[in-house]
Structure 1
Amino acid sequence: MSQSKKVKLPPVADAVSEASGYSSSRREALKTLGRVTAAVAASTTLPRFSIAGAQASSRYAKYKGSTVVISLPAHPHFDAATKVFSQFTRETGIKVETDRIDTSRMKDKQLLELGKAKGDYDVVTFIATWKGEYVKKKLIEEMQPYLSNAALADPDYALADVVPAYLQNIGLVGGKKGYLPGPGAKLYGLPSGAETSIMAYRKDILADLKLKPPASYAELEAMLPIIQDKGKIGALTSRGKSGHEAMHGFLLHLNPMGGEVLDDNWKPAFQEAPGVKALEFMQKVVDTGPKGIPSFGFGEMSNAFLQGEAAIYIDSISIFGPVADESKSRIKGKVGYALHPKAERYSSQTGGFGLAIPANSANKEAAFLFIQWLTSKAQDLTIARLGGNAMRTSTISSPALRALFPQYATLKEQIKYANPDWRPIIPEWDTLDVQIIGVAVNDGLTGKAAAAALQSAVAPTTELMQRAGYYK
């Protein structure tokens, strides 16, 4: 890597002491999170040059003719993002090759490649929950040296413009809890395909039934049987397949209901009253929703809404593009958007995907240039216009984008409640998510009482956390 001036991230944990959770005021916490991200961004202030065009040309010249290989998922955001890859090649002379596979198989293949002395990938698209494991195993590069390298860094990149909760949730490792701002926090990835949750609903069906979009879980729960009975359609679609999918659906309701997966001492908390309430709510969703929810993954869940089999959707903003795509949707023009309903509090998902540079890549600098370009202001707006997920505040606030997708007005409000501590982002998460709690949640959707289903996951969770050294 070219010689660079390194800028050390400041110790930001003191400023964020209570901001990552919901200990006092949610709005105050969000303000603090914003200040913390601004501090992180300030620590990576990029050098400015008087001749921007010449600098950009110089930045890419050394790497013209090289090729970067990116591992990415089959996902609506990347349906949009891949459409601009050829533009990157035209502008820079750097070619892009893709290895696009199903998300469920992507991590296994990445671990295989990243574990080699020299792997095939120069860029990996990772799910936020993988970041701790990848860093612990020293598989991906820290981003700071690249962002501080005057020969590579775009002076107009504007890291502070990235949605704070996305940057923290996807990019930071170290700090508070090991994955939030604080002493030792370092940036290892940049969001691309980041997401929060939002509610989409059939305007025509709710209007026919004289129902308003539910603002609270109480209102939502009350209308589920009404929609099923009088609307002759499934009410709320949901993920439910055993493992990650069921766990994701559970988390969508656990957080607003005031629950958490693990407490501050890493002890199981998902089985407490808010968790039981969340799973009992999911049981009602199964009873009143489209048929097959206990076997639904993301694709089946979203497709039920897109094909007119469900009246309400509460999940990722990645639904934006498909709803407007007539090749995927039967409900174009019939959908409205509203905030993820409130229970004990407003809280919405943070997660989705980020981009990182493998430690064993032979083209690290070209890989950084590609990541930087793809997540720049200009490309973020372009990808959002194509139906991808916006990751920048400026994009979400864009009048031009809002004219095309009015739902961005709702997203601008929703993003205030995006919770970067939506679930513990620790190396053990995949086991908890896929093999333990996600299985218990599915048990609750297929006949087992909610309290008993969740309680069955307490002992194996405790044992896993004990083995991993979380209890002193």
Structure 2
Amino acid sequence: MAVYRRWSIAAVALLAATTLVACGSDDGGGSGSGDPNAAPATAGGPMGRFPGAKLVLSRWAGDPWTSGQKTAAGEWGTATGGTLDLDAVPYENLHDKQALTLTGAGGYDIIYVHPSWFGEFAKAGYLAPIDQYLADANRNPSGFSADSYLPNVLAQGKYDGKQYCLPDFVSTTVLAYRKDVFEANGIAEPKTLDDVAAAAAQLNGKDGLAGMSIPGKRGGAVADIMGSLITAQGNWWYDDQAKSTLDKAAAAKAVDFYVKVAKTAPSGVLNFHVDEAATAAAQGKAAMIISTTPSLQALEDPAKSTTAGKWGYLPLAFTAGKPAGELIYWNWCIAEKSTNKDAAYSFLQWYTNGPQQAKVAVAAATAGATKDFYTNAEVAAKLPFLSAMNDALTTSNPQPSLAAWPKAQDQIELAVQEAIEGKKTPDQAADAMGQAVADALG
């Protein structure tokens, strides 16, 4: 039985609108000598005053996100009197670095947690619940509460009935295609993934282009795309009781598509994460790309792209007119061992609100999680993928956040890789995925 959610980000919003040591001055409860209830120093600024508080934030490294957050951290510090340092490490090392630090004496105050290990961290007690902060009118700007967030997105930061995190980085996987290349070769805009596979085969090798650029490296993106592909068939990995619901035929069809387009990808596709896939497309090496929307910011960045302005964006659909996607997001969480919880919440509330998210949205190709983000017409006009993303998320499943999921995800991605290499047929890969999901879920 499918567990997908039918919802539209814009529709929900419009309806609502019609190193690693933190030498904090707070005690374990987070009260400290500051004043978390102090009104913002300037309109739209962060709540609270935290003179002398020193916080450390853990996140993955990559611009424009890291540099944008450094700027935000400096603004927060100026407004509140605290300091916030970033410990940014490569994505592939982030989980292990965070787990090692949180298991030990601590040292992080704010943690950027991927859905695939959110359940693991929440179950282990690494994260602090924030329900009391969201519910306290004194800790939030006037009119701001849990209701300020898109409910389906905010819910992904809840575990065992408690809210642990605030979301941002809302995205999905979509197709980007070179409009000029399609027109020059007399190919119509693809309506289905069969059309996409056919176009990739037809364009592969034309004028030095690969037909498709797509992630092939085990690191999360392959599973994200697979999640969108099975959701587009009305299927999902598991149900609301965490029991496997994966349909072998749907998984095999998704793998078959992946293999077909990967055969038209640039050399080295198995080493492509989202950044490498996007760089290849941006530099004119591929006629199409399927990847996460944040990675697609490279396509329209003149500093990175020789093809800016030439791209069209479409949701993924096996059946014409029935797009789908995986809801991708990240969670901003407060470490349970932090002695700066008040200050940490001040930053997270301020950083995840609509105006702050709008500052990085255009450059980062991401969307915010608060309803007011989607009423910002200027931002919407500058995000060419937003319409495709919103169409995709009309029928979507959120990235898995079960504590046992990381192991299953790795095996799912290994099965895709082996199918691309010809070591497994799509049916065999589907069987391996089914077994991995069943084993992980027990």
With the shorter chain as reference, the TM-score category is: 0.7 to 0.9
**2:92 is the counterpart of 1:104:** yes
Q: Identify the residue that residue 377 of structure 2 maps to in structure 1.
A: 399
Counterparts of 1:255-294 in structure 2, within 5 Å, are: 255-262=231-238, 266=242, 268-270=244-246, 272-294=248-270
Q: Residues 66 and 414 of structure 1: is their aligned pair in 2 closer, same or farther, counting only changes over 3 Å?
A: same
- Work out the CA distance in 2 between the residues paired with 1:57 and 1:375: 12
Query: What letter matches 1:173 in structure 2?
Result: Y
Cα RMSD between the aligned structures? 3.1
- Work out the CA distance in 2 between the residues paired with 1:333 and 1:309: 16
Deviation of residue 108 (structure 1)? 1.0
* Residues 212 and 289, structure 2, Cα contact 8 Å, conserved in 1: yes
> Residue deviations 1:47-95, cap 9 Å, x none?
xx9x87699899422x123222100102343343333222222222221
Deviation of residue 427 (structure 1)? 0.7
- Work out the CA distance in 1 between the residues paired with 2:299 and 2:436: 40
**2:420 is the counterpart of 1:425:** no
Q: Residues 231 and 343 of structure 1: is their aligned pair in 2 closer, same or farther, counting only changes over 3 Å?
A: farther
Q: Identify the residue that residue 132 of structure 2 maps to in structure 1.
A: 145
* Residues 137 and 145, structure 2, Cα contact 8 Å, conserved in 1: no
- Work out the CA distance in 1 between the residues paired with 2:270 and 2:46: 54
* Residues 440 and 456, structure 1, Cα contact 8 Å, conserved in 2: yes
> Residue deviations 1:76-117, cap 9 Å, x none?
43343333222222222221101000111111111122123x
Q: Identify the residue that residue 107 of structure 2 maps to in structure 1.
A: 120
Q: Residues 57 and 233 of structure 1: is their aligned pair in 2 closer, same or farther, counting only changes over 3 Å?
A: closer
* Residues 169 and 329, structure 2, Cα contact 8 Å, conserved in 1: yes
Q: Residues 451 and 115 of structure 1: is their aligned pair in 2 closer, same or farther, counting only changes over 3 Å?
A: same
**2:302 is the counterpart of 1:302:** no
Deviation of residue 449 (structure 1)? 1.1
- Work out the CA distance in 2 between the residues paired with 1:90 and 1:204: 47
- Work out the CA distance in 2 between the residues paired with 1:410 and 1:450: 28
Q: Identify the residue that residue 11 of structure 1 maps to in structure 2.
A: none
Of residues 428, 431, 437, the one that matches 2:412 is 437
> Residue deviations 1:249-302, cap 9 Å, x none?
322322213332235665555461010011011110122222222232222222
- Work out the CA distance in 1 between the residues paired with 2:66 and 2:147: 23
Q: Identify the residue that residue 12 of structure 1 maps to in structure 2.
A: none
How many matched pairs? 415
**2:158 is the counterpart of 1:172:** yes
- Work out the CA distance in 2 between the residues paired with 1:409 and 1:454: 31
Q: Identify the residue that residue 207 of structure 1 maps to in structure 2.
A: 183
Query: What letter matches 2:382 in structure 1?
Result: L
Q: Which consecutive unaligned segments of at least 5 residues does structure 2 have? A: 17-36
Q: Residues 290 and 58 of structure 1: is their aligned pair in 2 closer, same or farther, counting only changes over 3 Å?
A: closer
Deviation of residue 191 (structure 1)? 1.3
- Work out the CA distance in 2 between the residues paired with 1:202 and 1:147: 44
Of residues 117, 122, 128, the one that matches 1:130 is 117
Q: Residues 450 and 320 of structure 1: is their aligned pair in 2 closer, same or farther, counting only changes over 3 Å?
A: closer
Q: Identify the residue that residue 9 of structure 1 maps to in structure 2.
A: none
> Residue deviations 1:104-145, cap 9 Å, x none?
1111111122123x4111100010122211111111011211
Counterparts of 1:373-388 in structure 2, within 5 Å, are: 373-388=350-365
Query: What letter matches 1:110 in structure 2?
Result: Q
**2:93 is the counterpart of 1:70:** no
* Residues 415 and 429, structure 2, Cα contact 8 Å, conserved in 1: yes
- Work out the CA distance in 1 between the residues paired with 2:390 and 2:84: 32
Deviation of residue 408 (structure 1)? 3.2
Q: Residues 151 and 65 of structure 1: is their aligned pair in 2 closer, same or farther, counting only changes over 3 Å?
A: farther
Name the structure, 1 or 2, with higher relative contact order (CA <8 Å, separation 6+): 2
**2:3 is the counterpart of 1:21:** yes
* Residues 189 and 356, structure 1, Cα contact 8 Å, conserved in 2: yes
> Residue deviations 1:189-209, cap 9 Å, x none?
111323222222212111211
Q: Identify the residue that residue 367 of structure 2 maps to in structure 1.
A: 390
Q: Residues 75 and 352 of structure 1: is their aligned pair in 2 closer, same or farther, counting only changes over 3 Å?
A: farther
Query: What letter matches 1:224 in structure 2?
Result: A
Q: Residues 383 and 260 of structure 1: is their aligned pair in 2 closer, same or farther, counting only changes over 3 Å?
A: same
- Work out the CA distance in 2 between the residues paired with 1:161 and 1:204: 41
Query: What letter matches 2:419 in structure 1?
Result: G
Q: Identify the residue that residue 92 of structure 1 maps to in structure 2.
A: 80
- Work out the CA distance in 1 between the residues paired with 2:375 and 2:316: 19
Deviation of residue 414 (structure 1)? 3.9
Q: Identify the residue that residue 335 of structure 2 maps to in structure 1.
A: 358
- Work out the CA distance in 2 between the residues paired with 1:258 and 1:21: 8
Deviation of residue 377 (structure 1)? 2.0
TM-score (normalised: structure 1): 0.79
Deviation of residue 439 (structure 1)? 1.6
Q: Identify the residue that residue 48 of structure 2 maps to in structure 1.
A: 60
